[in-house]
Amino acid sequence: MSLWGSAAALFPMWAGERVIEAASIGKFRLHREWPPLLLEELKLAVRIFAGAIDRKQGETAAGVARTELVLAQRRSMIGELVASLVHKINQPLGAILSDLGGLARLVSQGNGDPVLATQAVSNAIEDTKRAAEVVRRIRRLFKSDATHIEGVEGAASYRLDADRHAAASCD
């Protein structure tokens, strides 16, 4: 506490270890005597205000930190989801490439076995359908609020991934 002239009293407002403001209390153009008891009461009032300001700043900082944490968790979950989806799409695409590469080798070697060629084309068609189904499910996931559970080849691995993510978010 310090006196500014004799008409006002100036009190620092502490928040933790730092001064955040100063409170000035006084009269204009008149001399004022400041009894010690009044100064102590004013000092206490300033401490209460400073405490409220410090608490509000702490709540605001905690809210910002919570928001940043939620955003980081979302980004992490999206990253895991994208990695899983890329893997699920790359599997049938790799199989299509393999089927068509084998078919190209058969044709280039002059092997005109229609059964092998038909099998390679059929495999490529089925793998294309698998990749398209993964894409359809991704689109539906982002378009709809409803959850769809359907049986699909490889669905067990999807469920295991979903269960792992759910368990991780509950911890």
User: What pLDDT shows up at residue 158?
Assistant: 45
DSSP H/E element including 22: strand 18-26
Q: Does residue 157 share a domain with residue 100?
A: yes
Q: Does residue 78 share a domain with residue 54?
A: no
Q: Does residue 92 share a domain with residue 21?
A: no
Q: Does residue 136 share a domain with residue 99?
A: yes
Q: Does residue 34 share a domain with residue 115?
A: no
Which structure tokens are listed for 60?
């605001």
Overall number of domains in the chain:
2
Contact, 41 vs 49, CB < 8 A? no
pTM of structure: 0.47
Residue 66 belongs to a domain: no
User: Where does the pLDDT of residue 25 fall: very low under 50, low under 70, confident under 90, or very high at 90 and above?
Assistant: confident
Per residue in 87-123, pLDDT (tens digit) is: 888 888 898 898 888 888 888 888 777 888 888 889 8
Q: Does residue 93 share a domain with residue 9?
A: no
Q: Which residues span the domain enclosing 32?
A: 2-60
Residue 65 belongs to a domain: no
